[in-house]
Structure 1
Amino acid sequence: MTSTPTSTTVKWPSPQATSPYSYDDLRRLMSLMTGDEKHGPAATSTLDVLWVLYDRVLRVSPETADAADRDRFLLSKGHGPMAYYAVLVAKGFLPEAWLSGFGGFDSPLGHHPDRTLVPGVEIGSGSLGHGLPLAVGTALGLRAQGLDAARTWVLVGDAEMDEGSNHEAIAFAGAVGLDGLRVVAVDNSSATYGWRGGLASRFTAEGWSALTVDGRDHAALYEAFTAPHPGRPHAVIARVEPKRA
């Protein structure tokens, strides 16, 4: 999941590094990828969360993608990765020319991201429910190495939270006070049953810090992403418009 560290003393630039792309370019970039239209809502639901993370929060760049103390971003909600690929292009991890080949036999950009093929990708996604447990292990490993500044972020979907593996990961992370772990759950009302009191209650019941915000409001997302949560893992529930059948 991680490559051999090259440095532990990186001088980190602002995440808002100069780029020829802006948020307004993302939908054009997404439009270059065709053939997975059924997962279009899954992609667009994550667009604003991904942009705010990569533009303003994550301490990782193409130049520091192997740094030991970089932030790790794990995409568990890997189906419909068009928004993810568009943001990676906008931030310089991928060339725009790759997008038109999306899903092709000889393209590195598959319908699920592959960490061995796509620069900047930390895990290969597939079966839902794997990303959060992997993030727990990543955060534990970083803590064991004393890399306390390196944060682990994982993006999940609300329907994915039905998986039992996620409930075990939430309980464990809360019990051990894994404050290097951050979960972003994009909630488009896809879960089969939902949660009494909202999805945030599932996290707070296990000792997490949790906030629920408008998943299209960039200022609210940034404030929630950077909220202090000493001694506890942190979850941000990003509510977006309900998925249409």
Structure 2
Amino acid sequence: MSTQTPARTSPQQPSYGYADLGRLMGLMTGDEKHGPAATSTLDALWVLYDRVLRVTPGTAEDRARDRFLLSKGHGPMAYYAVLAAKGFFGEEVLAGFGSYDSPLGHHPDRVLVPGAEIGSGSLGHGLPLAVGTALGLRAQGLTDPAVWVLIGDAELDEGSNHEAIAFAGPAGLDRLHALVVDNSSATHGWPGGIASRFEAAGWSAATVDGRDHEALHAAYTAPHPGRPHVVVARVEPKN
């Protein structure tokens, strides 16, 4: 049984902007190995939470909310910083990151982290879970909520993702959105680029600079009637 206490939403959350994220991330130490994994997702996460996702601390249990699933669960510091900036918990929680009694583990735990839809750790699970979430919402008649999942390019080496990609296109899951952060860390690579794999399965796709906020926003909000949508956000290669 876990002895950790879930983080709580701060009732008097100060206002944060993108410029505050570096300081918030700096409060979390002890996982420098996964620093590149965190920094690679920072801009993509911020634009998504700041301008696209329809979910707040007050609507985190609302059935009509958008869902965001973090599949790239290793190196979650950017994710935690964005959640804190958006008021899901207070910034004072960040300093305990990775400690024994902190709710903020080296992989997010949905039971402990407000706003986290899934617990993530084993790579390759997030996209299949997102497909299942989109199917479940459709079955309940909830056709408005969007489902987003963030994947690392190396996760696409996992066979479970190939099956999810192949299923989602023909199923017409148009409320499903995948965000692939590409820092050139995949072992096998993708002839023709990552987007081509999704397009071959009937997805709508866009490839953009993962540091360009306007390009990210335009790609996130591009229409894709009748098809799931993937945004490939290219960032600097992992060293």
- Tell me the TM-score normalised to structure 1 length: 0.92
CA RMSD in angstroms comes to: 0.8
Q: Answer yes or no: is 1:169 the counterpart of 2:167.
A: no
Q: Report the counterpart of residue 235 of structure 1 in structure 2.
A: 230
Q: How many residues align?
A: 227
Q: Report the counterpart of residue 127 of structure 1 in structure 2.
A: 122
Q: Answer yes or no: is 1:40 the counterpart of 2:32.
A: no
Equivalent residues in 2 for 1:177-216, closer than 5 Å: 177-216=172-211
Q: Report the counterpart of residue 21 of structure 1 in structure 2.
A: 16
Q: Report the counterpart of residue 77 of structure 1 in structure 2.
A: 72
1:109-131 Cα shifts (integer Å, max 9, x gaps):
00000000010000000100000
Please state whether the residue corresponding to 2:169 is helix, strand or coil.
Answer: helix
Which of structure 1's runs of 4+ aligned residues deviate more than 4 A? none
Quote the offset at 1:193 in angstroms.
Answer: 1.7
- Tell me the TM-score normalised to structure 2 length: 0.94
Task: Give the counterpart letter for 1:156 in structure 2.
Answer: I
Equivalent residues in 2 for 1:40-119, closer than 5 Å: 40-119=35-114
Task: Give the counterpart letter for 1:179 in structure 2.
Answer: D
Equivalent residues in 2 for 1:148-163, closer than 5 Å: 148-163=143-158
Quote the offset at 1:67 in angstroms.
Answer: 0.5
Unaligned runs of 5+ in 2: 1-12
Quote the offset at 1:21 in angstroms.
Answer: 0.5
Work out the CA distance in 1 between the residues paired with 2:82 and 2:163: 31
Quote the offset at 1:20 in angstroms.
Answer: 1.1
Work out the CA distance in 1 between the residues paired with 2:135 and 2:22: 36
Task: Give the counterpart letter for 1:162 in structure 2.
Answer: D
Quote the offset at 1:232 in angstroms.
Answer: 0.2
Work out the CA distance in 2 between the residues paired with 1:208 and 1:149: 19
1:155-177 Cα shifts (integer Å, max 9, x gaps):
00000011000000000001111
Please state whether the residue corresponding to 2:149 is helix, strand or coil.
Answer: strand
1:161-209 Cα shifts (integer Å, max 9, x gaps):
1100000000000111111100000000001121111000010000000
Q: Percent identity?
A: 78
Contact (CA 8 Å) 1:158, 1:187: kept in 2 or not?
yes
Quote the offset at 1:19 in angstroms.
Answer: 5.7
Unaligned runs of 5+ in 1: 1-17
Task: Give the counterpart letter for 1:91 in structure 2.
Answer: K
Task: Give the counterpart letter for 2:41 in structure 1.
Answer: T
Contact (CA 8 Å) 1:19, 1:91: kept in 2 or not?
no
Task: Give the counterpart letter for 1:127 in structure 2.
Answer: S
Task: Give the counterpart letter for 1:85 in structure 2.
Answer: Y
Q: Report the counterpart of residue 3 of structure 1 in structure 2.
A: none
Please state whether the residue corresponding to 1:175 is helix, strand or coil.
Answer: coil
Please state whether the residue corresponding to 2:186 is helix, strand or coil.
Answer: coil
1:20-65 Cα shifts (integer Å, max 9, x gaps):
1100000100000000000000000000000000000000000000
Equivalent residues in 2 for 1:131-150, closer than 5 Å: 131-150=126-145
Work out the CA distance in 1 between the residues paired with 2:54 and 2:141: 17
